[in-house]
Amino acid sequence: MKILVTGGCGFIGANLVPRLEAAGHAVRVLDSEVLGQREHLGDFAGEFLRGDIRDDAALDAALVGVDAVVHLAADTRVIESIADPALNFDVNVVGSFRLLEAMRRHEVRRIVNASTGGAIIGEAEPPVHEGMVPNPISPYGATKLAVEGLCSAWAGSYGFSALSLRFANVYGPRSFHKGSVVAAFCKRILAGEPLIVHGNGEQTRDFVYVADLCQGIMAGLASERSGVFQLGSGQPLSVNALIEALRVVVGPQSVAVDYRPARAGEIDKTWCNVAKARTELDFRPDTPLHDGLAATWDWFVQQNALALA
């Protein structure tokens, strides 16, 4: 297929694009380069377009000849969405609406949309699953829920095949520019700085390795299904347990922790049930935590060495 990846220079895109190419797909990337950069794609053989998903002209150029879209472009920062909800809404909801309308103009009717689990469901007894009533507690969660609604409406009204994949906390190589917890911890360890934890560290998350997530995206792309699927490891892990696992991976280096007050808008405990994705998409999140963290740490060490060279 000819696949457009929006936000393809970001962390997940930089891991997904080479896998799509290796599977024989022709790939075009549309990215504004606000966060991700073209250089993050390395030896990308496809076409790169610099542009914003809120720009109809950029979308029209990007969708020519395309068979399907993997929609990763978004403002994904929870705390920043609380500080500036208008920007978060504009990028996520308005941008996604413009993308879907551009797809309709170009008769591209297959989209795999990157969504989120915990931020949409809000505070609820885990594991979260697709049948739960959404109750977002941050503007970011609300905007991603709105985009899921748009995808569902375009599937119902215009014959789209629209799949929304609710990502858990993704970690792995190529995440140097990310502010997510594993990436932030790796960067602070390399800098000899204490890890910053908001809360007592007993809050739980679902950490899924990026290669596993990419396998789920590609399985979803091949399935031509519509609807919502949760992608994660299916296992809860506290932030304190994550820190202990990182201590094992990084070895003798000192890893100090600075505990600070919890922040509004962040969920205390969440992890997901991935049975639906395992059964219907053949999703296989089987990378052991130690192996995923070791591969991530090794990548950060290599990047740090290159930066210092």
Q: Which pLDDT score, from 0 to 100, does residue 78 have?
A: 85
Q: Is the domain of 177 the same as that of 95?
A: no
Q: Which pLDDT score, from 0 to 100, does residue 107 have?
A: 98
Q: Is the pLDDT of residue 213 over 90?
A: yes
Q: Is the pLDDT of residue 309 over 80?
A: no
For residues 241-248, give the mean pLDDT. 97
Q: Is the domain of 122 the same as that of 251?
A: no
| 114: β partners | 165
Dihedral of alpha carbons 221, 227, 228, 232, sign: negative
Please give the mean pLDDT across all residues of the chain: 94
Q: 142-188 pLDDT, tens per residue? A: 999 999 999 999 999 999 999 999 999 999 999 988 878 999 999 99
The DSSP symbol for 39 reads G
Q: Is the domain of 197 the same as that of 106?
A: no
List the domain range (segments joined by +) for residue 150.
Answer: 2-170+208-231
Q: Is the domain of 111 the same as that of 244?
A: no
- What number of residues does the chain have? 309
Q: Is the domain of 60 the same as that of 182?
A: no
Is residue 188 included in any domain, yes or no? yes
Is residue 281 included in any domain, yes or no? no
| 229: β partners | 165
Is residue 123 included in any domain, yes or no? yes
CA 170 from centroid of its chain's CA atoms: 6
Q: Is the domain of 100 the same as that of 197?
A: no
Is residue 284 included in any domain, yes or no? no
Question: How many domains, in total, are found in the chain?
Answer: 2
CATH of the domain at 254: 3.90.25.10
Q: Is the domain of 70 the same as that of 109?
A: yes
Q: Is the domain of 92 the same as that of 38?
A: yes
For residues 19-48, give the mean pLDDT. 94
Q: Is the pLDDT of residue 297 over 90?
A: yes
Top-confidence residue, 68 or 269 = 68
Q: Is the domain of 163 the same as that of 77?
A: yes
Q: 5-30 pLDDT, tens per residue? A: 999 999 999 999 999 999 999 999 99
Percent of the chain having pLDDT more than 90?
84
Q: Is the domain of 12 the same as that of 146?
A: yes
CATH of the domain at 139: 3.40.50.720
Q: Is the pLDDT of residue 298 over 70?
A: yes
Catalytic site residues? 140
Is residue 138 included in any domain, yes or no? yes
Q: 60-118 pLDDT, tens per residue? A: 999 999 999 999 999 988 889 999 999 999 999 999 999 999 999 999 999 999 999 87
Q: Is the domain of 23 the same as that of 141?
A: yes
Q: Is the domain of 161 the same as that of 15?
A: yes
Q: For the chain, what percentages of helix, strand and coil (3-state, to nearest 5) are there?
A: 45, 20, 35
